[in-house]
Amino acid sequence: MFKRFGTGLWIRVFLLTLSVFFCVYVAVRLENYVAATFLFIPVAIQTYGLFHYVENTNRKLIRFLEAVRFSDFAIGFSSDNKLGESFRELNKNFNEVLDAFRQARSEKEEHLQYLNTVVQHVSVGLLAFDPDGNVDLINAAACRLLGVYRLRHISELQQNHPELMFMVQRPQQSEKVLYTASNDQQLAVHATGIRLRGKMVKLISLQNIQSELQQKELDAWQNLTRVLRHEIMNSITPIASLIATMHDIVEHDLAVTDENAEPIADIKEALKTIESRSIGLINFVNGYRSFTNIPKPRPAEMTVKDLINPVVQLMKPDLRTAGIRLGYRVEPGDLMINADSELTGMVLINLVKNAMEAVSEREGASILLHAYRDSQGRVAIEVDDNGPGIIPEALEKIFIPFYTTKKTGSGIGLSLSRQIMQMHGGTLKVNSVVGEGTTFILKF
């Protein structure tokens, strides 16, 4: 009978009433106050039992609220289902609410894990710090762009990136500035403020826009080259034609006498020189047509060895004659690449030729081609020589069209090579130490 709450409650009230009545009867009718005092003890015990029995629902509610408060959704309510339908319904509702909380927390954690994975895998660097400078968030891309393993406080940027630290700590919001990192990477820095848990947090995005800047620079040079070539050809072609006409007039229509023999000879020599220079200028301008008319790459899967081997075989006779040792190393041996073999082969040939000229007067001259996969999983090919190196002033200009440090050369080879790599979605960079050598790095 006590398994049901209502029945148990009525029985307890009945027994308590009976006990109180019996206690009063003993005390009033029998005037036995000592016995009544002893009888009051079971009345008190029954009163406490009734109170504790009724408080069971409140205790259940407290347990439920504490479970919600402390996110303890592993508990369940079912022990007092035997007390009646109302208790079973209450326990069922409690369990359903806890299940809903448990499901919501699971979905929240999954969503948080998903966002964290996305943040860590995007190529844009993300950095967030509070007003005290404590770093709340930094993803792998930001660590890679800043060249740090981890960052706990924004002041740790002072050593390697003092200018960047000043930029991100400025109070202005929603601004975008350009920052040149220590490794010559051009970073677009965008700062914005958000309120999180009652405090302002500054969110910084770092995006490497070096390839975009190089592409814009290349487009500008190409446009300039087209305009110059067009204007020069429009001007020099009629000049060359007029010079040829004047040359014929001097040769056939002017009578040579003793008095004008020397001036006519000077005119012929001058016309010949102008004609020669005009033709040379026309050939010079036509030579740069390739800079603005590179065919679209047709990439295909191939091994890096299949790309390097033809270059080595082609350059081997000239290298042997010049006494220059050429070696190459591919790690792993089956390393694959997706590229246009003809265009990338042209790039490698140009770089090897430049290296040959650089080490031509060097004792123990050597050139090494090294292919590998870098830390980001990109295929890289290095062309390394032990020549005299390139001075820093020239190193900043070698990719500019028409710039050259050689006595002979057009200054177009490296610009063309970088353009080909950009058309492949890759990069061409250079590292050089004066007196030690130079390394050109192709990354696909």
Mean pLDDT of 265-289: 71
Position 88 pLDDT exceeds 90: no
pLDDT band per the 50, 70, 90 thresholds, residue 316: confident
pTM above 0.75, yes or no: no
Burial label for 436, CB within 10 Å (0-12, 13-18, 19+), is exposed
Three-state SS for 299? coil
Position 247 pLDDT exceeds 60: yes
- For 356-379, write each residue's pLDDT tens digit: 888 888 888 899 999 999 877 889
Taking the C-alpha atoms of residue 77 and residue 60, their distance in angstroms, rounded to an integer, is 8
- For 38-81, write each residue's pLDDT tens digit: 666 776 776 766 666 666 666 777 777 777 777 777 777 766 55
Bridge partner list, 177 = 189
Q: What average pLDDT does the structure give for the chain?
A: 76
Backbone torsions φ then ψ of 75, nearest 5 degrees:
-80, 165
Mean pLDDT of 218-241: 68
pLDDT band per the 50, 70, 90 thresholds, residue 140: confident
Position 292 pLDDT exceeds 50: yes
> Which of the pair, 219 or 95, is modelled with greater confidence?
95
Q: Which CATH fold would you assign to the domain 122-208?
A: Beta-Lactamase (3.30.450)
pLDDT band per the 50, 70, 90 thresholds, residue 35: low
> Which of the pair, 331 or 252, is modelled with greater confidence?
331
Q: Determine the pLDDT at residue 204.
A: 82
Q: Determine the pLDDT at residue 165.
A: 76
Q: Does domain 300-443 have CATH number 3.30.565.10?
A: yes
Range of lowest pLDDT (206-215, 347-356, 410-419): 206-215
Bridge partner list, 326 = 367
- For 332-345, write each residue's pLDDT tens digit: 888 999 988 888 88
Q: Determine the pLDDT at residue 3.
A: 47
Mean pLDDT of 155-160: 80
Mean pLDDT of 416-430: 84
Q: Determine the pLDDT at residue 86.
A: 60
Range of lowest pLDDT (51-60, 109-118, 308-317): 51-60
Bridge partner list, 440 = 383, 430
pLDDT band per the 50, 70, 90 thresholds, residue 254: low
Q: Determine the pLDDT at residue 312.
A: 87
Position 423 pLDDT exceeds 70: yes
72 and 82 Cβ atoms separated by less than 8 Å: no
Mean pLDDT of 270-280: 74
Q: Determine the pLDDT at residue 380.
A: 92
Mean pLDDT of 263-276: 76
Mean pLDDT of 202-228: 69
Q: Determine the pLDDT at residue 333.
A: 85
Q: What is the residue type of 56? A: N
Position 431 pLDDT exceeds 60: yes
Position 284 pLDDT exceeds 70: no
401 and 291 Cβ atoms separated by less than 8 Å: yes
Mean pLDDT of 279-303: 71
Sketch the domain layout of the chain as residue ranges.
5-101, 122-208, 225-292, 300-443
- For 2-24, write each residue's pLDDT tens digit: 445 556 666 667 676 777 777 77
Phi-psi group of 298: left, alpha or beta (phi > 0 → left; psi -120 to 50 → alpha; rest → beta): beta
Q: Are β-strands 135-138 and 186-196 bridged in parallel, bridged antiparallel, or unpaired?
A: unpaired
Position 397 pLDDT exceeds 90: no
Residue in this structure with the two tokens 């350009």, named with its chain if needed: 178
> Which of the pair, 64 or 220, is modelled with greater confidence?
64
